[in-house]
Homo-oligomer: A and B are copies of this chain.
Amino acid sequence: MKKAVVLLSGGLDSATVVAMVKDQGFNVYALSFSYGQRHSVELTAAKNIAQNLSAREHKTATLDLRIFGGSALTGDIEVPKDRAENDMAGDIPVTYVPARNTIFLSFALAYAETVGAKDIFIGVNALDYSGYPDCRPDYIAAFENMANLATKAGVTDVARIKIQTPLIDMTKAEIIQVGISLGVDYGKTISCYDPDTQGKACGHCDSCLLRKKGFAQANVADPTVYYRP
């Protein structure tokens, strides 16, 4: 069986990616990060998802991005609430973590190289997160090009390393519909940037607002438990 490394945050998007990758016949090597995020309950969610969707292996890399600061997700800046979608689509938000996807993909590359996987999956989405520079297709293509020069595999193997982004052009509603058809239990996923310690969602950060709207548009009952509905 082919092997794939899948970045798994514990959120709705990456859980769907795991299900899609399994459905394509890959053995899944899931990778999560404990990086000093506020919303570390997502790591429990990641573990449950990896188990439920029968990932072959699940590793959590510990690294502390708080040493650099500069983001609402790792620092003291407050997570913005109840923003209009126009505002989300504009400037790069304070929840942006400098170089986060580059760091995460670099670890995925190390993991892929050690297990002999050629395919790395990341659940970035150009529609919902246009404010994050490291979610754009150009960026992903540049990372892939670099990855093939960075590694033993790039030097010695014929098969290229591929960075795959199956969600890149999908709406949140489409992602949810695909996930439901593949048996994803979204009640086990956490998307909130500011959850409470039990993993209940705030219901008002950008991520919660997009998720709520996604369930509504997909016409699927929202299984999320909110602490401030």
A positions within 8 Å CB-CB of B? 59, 61-65, 67-70, 92, 96-103, 105-107, 109-111, 113-114, 133-134, 136, 138-139, 142-143, 145-147, 149-152, 154-156
Contacts and interface: CB of A to CB of B under 8 A. Distances in A.
B98 A113 contact: yes
Given A63-B63, A103-B106, A106-B106, A149 B155 contact: no
Given A92-B152, A103-B107, 4 more contacts: A62-B63, A62-B64, A103-B103, A134-B151
Nearest to A152: B92
Contacts of A65: 110
Count of identical protomers in the assembly: 2
A119 B210 CA distance: 36
B114 A68 contact: yes
Contacts of A100: 110
Given A142-B146, A149-B133, A149-B142, A99 B106 contact: yes
A99 B113 CA distance: 8
7 contacts: A63-B64, A68-B114, A69-B114, A98-B110, A103-B106, A139-B150, A145-B145
A192 to B, nearest CB: 23
A43 B91 CA distance: 39
A97 B155 CA distance: 15
